[in-house]
Structure 1
């Protein structure tokens, strides 16, 4: 870089991608090159933002916005200042479907930190996330039918707004003025009003994008690829043919949703609510049992031990249907364990069966036969749960009759930056 500047060539401009995820935030700096873009630097921080909801009760899933933004500021502060000073565009993605409210003109305040001005949320509500379960099937059935091919589900922002309206007001129409304007992906929402962690004043900021589409955009180059992501939740995705249009009316019983993608295309998505969160719940359950026996073991150590135990068991006759969080197309569905035999009661057998159940559940939503009919030739595997769990990877390769490629840079922050890079 120094040599380029010394030779009289201008220093390269960077595009910053930010992803506000369910469990962590990530920032990625992309720089242009003759053969495309490359990730120059990236940083992530866990948010640890979950907070209880007295109003919604145990079904509520909310996050503290101040905690999320604190993690974002820490993330940006860890990136090299000299590169942030060359950022010309910012792309933003975040967890989809949830909602947060703020007072107009008082959504944030600017404060000074070690790297210069930073903004913090001021008069804002908690974030009601996509995992929120306060809207029961009965409540959802009482709402107007959406003029969309996508069915309404608990955790969707509009459903949450209706829940607040009906809980606090006797009669009220939907506050349409709260909804954001819809723009083209990559279009500019505005510019930074002052320097921010070294990012220059006037940097162009793109409109917010869904983290799911950005994740797919970061890796999907061939229509014959399917993308399997297992993080907090799990998704299996395929590209629909050019010109495809989804049905005009929603089918609440369908396990597949058609998500709008870039350039007028659509993705067929089996979006399961049960992924890494199921394994996390299982580990938490084992931890509580151990504590009740008067012992103490760190959850991280338990996770390592149960995966090791499962790797020692090549098979298990146990059948685990792991839908403890329900599914949007069958929200009342619970989890179950069947085919229990004395020979399959070890921790390794149960863990192996649980991992297989997560993959089988996803496969039941978007079957192998449909993948074959669509022309899928390989699967791109991604996500934190899949990356750290060899048993999950073994079960993916056992169930799907396609080559599975791991290690692809499937990353919403990178995807958000790529969208802005390609449209700047």
Structure 2
């Protein structure tokens, strides 16, 4: 377990915390590559712990389009982390849960795991398959959306025997913690599966029935910020999507800020009161349920931090060919990128290496090559500007004149000053970096605190979100 512990982060002693502070809230994030948690005091806004362990549950498949994780092992690892935190920080006021959206896992009537987690990266329901679904139903879904995956599996007789329910992994985790008999899904999670009516806050069951989906397999949906049960006598809030949790855990001022999140993919998000028609945006932008009757406008890029990882892999392969150890090259790559950004003479890199939500066949490009810039530093810097530019094009389409600051989250931006500069130059607004990281877990803790206390989540976020001193 890799731990960024309380004393190292805050300088506070455990003795002073337990003697003088109010109860804390725990947020846990079942992410694609890591399982993370943040411990906060919602009354004072202080952070007492940031904890991260490796997910390490990927299942190898001979078929490139299949992306799965061992759901039972993932739940076990998350449960052990949660128990560790409860024992360390008790008394706990509430527990919040979030995790990777879009993917699905099957369970039986007792909520026992019956399948792997088919993740958001799964492509067995291909782009063409999803386009056919859209023609049949008029609902846009993309590869990796849980209900598209489910419809595909049902048509090839690929459903696990004994399946009673399907859900996101975090909905199943929360339900099992509370000993529920039926899965409950917040609208932020339910909508990520597809075939969801935003305005009514429910699945389109009639449309799904025409596709062969029985409504009883779906979780019960809530749009409320609510406690759904208890674990070890601690209130547990309904799980929320990691996009919404990241926004809540990274943004102090919702009306004037946008969030650029870099993980394996990347996203640009801002809050709105209007779930607008997406038709004029070509499917690149989604309105997603948020909290308190509001929505997030979100544009997603499939190859965010992964684009930089592909460049790193290129340089690592060269180093190995030269007889050097097979080790990460990010430190060298970051230095090269900074040099390239300073030079101002970078390559033009289109970072659609994994396609787009609309077309998985699209590939990236490297152009503008000349004698003076065909260098490692120009390629590294060009990749960062390409990552920033792909998000900015979506941001521009949304129409965002009221946005005054960009909050950038994720390890890819936290550990890379050159990417921060590229974002600032491309977006032409100040860039702020959350102080502690693991924004989704923080947002889950904030959401749980609001569910327990009844205080608006945005007011708690204003106390609990802080930024690094040197933001730009």
Do the two structures share a fold, i.e. TM-score over 0.5? yes
Structure in which a larger fraction of residues adopt helix: 2
Asked if structure 2 preserves the Cα contact closer than 8 Å seen for 1:228 and 1:382, the reply is: yes
Tell me the residue number matched to 2:400: 371
1:144 Cα shift? 5.4
Asked if structure 1 preserves the Cα contact closer than 8 Å seen for 2:27 and 2:95, the reply is: yes
Q: Secondary structure of the equivalent of 2:428?
A: coil
Distance between the aligned counterparts of 1:153 and 1:276, measured in 2? 20
Tell me the residue number matched to 2:120: 130
Distance between the aligned counterparts of 1:82 and 1:409, measured in 2? 19
Distance between the aligned counterparts of 2:142 and 2:397, measured in 1? 26
Distance between the aligned counterparts of 2:123 and 2:309, measured in 1? 18
Q: How has the CA–CA distance of structure 1 residues 331 and 312 changed in structure 2, closer, same or farther, with 3 Å as cutoff?
A: same
Please tell me whether residue 391 in structure 1 is matched to residue 418 in structure 2: yes
Match of 1:189 among 228, 234, 241: 228
Asked if structure 2 preserves the Cα contact closer than 8 Å seen for 1:186 and 1:419, the reply is: yes
Tell me the residue number matched to 2:35: 25
1:299-340 deviation digits (Å, cap 9, x = unpaired) = 32x111122122222223421111111111333311111222
Please tell me whether residue 228 in structure 1 is matched to residue 260 in structure 2: yes
Tell me the residue number matched to 1:296: 324
TM-score by length of 1: 0.82
Distance between the aligned counterparts of 1:16 and 1:32, measured in 2? 10
How many residues were matched structurally?
A: 385
Distance between the aligned counterparts of 2:123 and 2:345, measured in 1? 32
Asked if structure 2 preserves the Cα contact closer than 8 Å seen for 1:42 and 1:79, the reply is: no
Please tell me whether residue 422 in structure 1 is matched to residue 450 in structure 2: yes
Distance between the aligned counterparts of 2:158 and 2:134, measured in 1? 17
Tell me the residue number matched to 1:60: 66
Distance between the aligned counterparts of 1:4 and 1:228, measured in 2? 33
Asked if structure 1 preserves the Cα contact closer than 8 Å seen for 2:127 and 2:359, the reply is: no
Runs of 4+ in 1 over 4 A off after TM superposition: 1-6, 144-148, 169-172, 249-252
Q: How has the CA–CA distance of structure 1 residues 169 and 126 changed in structure 2, closer, same or farther, with 3 Å as cutoff?
A: closer
Q: Secondary structure of the equivalent of 1:268?
A: strand
Distance between the aligned counterparts of 1:4 and 1:346, measured in 2? 52
Distance between the aligned counterparts of 1:250 and 1:178, measured in 2? 29
Asked if structure 2 preserves the Cα contact closer than 8 Å seen for 1:185 and 1:209, the reply is: no
Q: Secondary structure of the equivalent of 2:105?
A: coil
Tell me the residue number matched to 1:268: 297
1:163-193 deviation digits (Å, cap 9, x = unpaired) = 111222799711322211111343122222x
Tell me the residue number matched to 1:254: 283
TM-score by length of 2: 0.74
Question: What are structure 2's unaligned runs of at least 5 residues?
Answer: 1-13, 160-209, 453-472
1:78 Cα shift? 4.8
Q: How has the CA–CA distance of structure 1 residues 168 and 378 changed in structure 2, closer, same or farther, with 3 Å as cutoff?
A: same
Q: Which moved more, 1:392-401 or 1:337-346?
A: 337-346
Q: How has the CA–CA distance of structure 1 residues 132 and 4 changed in structure 2, closer, same or farther, with 3 Å as cutoff?
A: closer
Q: Which moved more, 1:24-33 or 1:207-216?
A: 24-33
1:57-111 deviation digits (Å, cap 9, x = unpaired) = 1122111224423442453355372523x1242111111101111233262xxxx
Match of 1:202 among 226, 229, 233: 233
Match of 2:156 among 167, 171, 174: 167
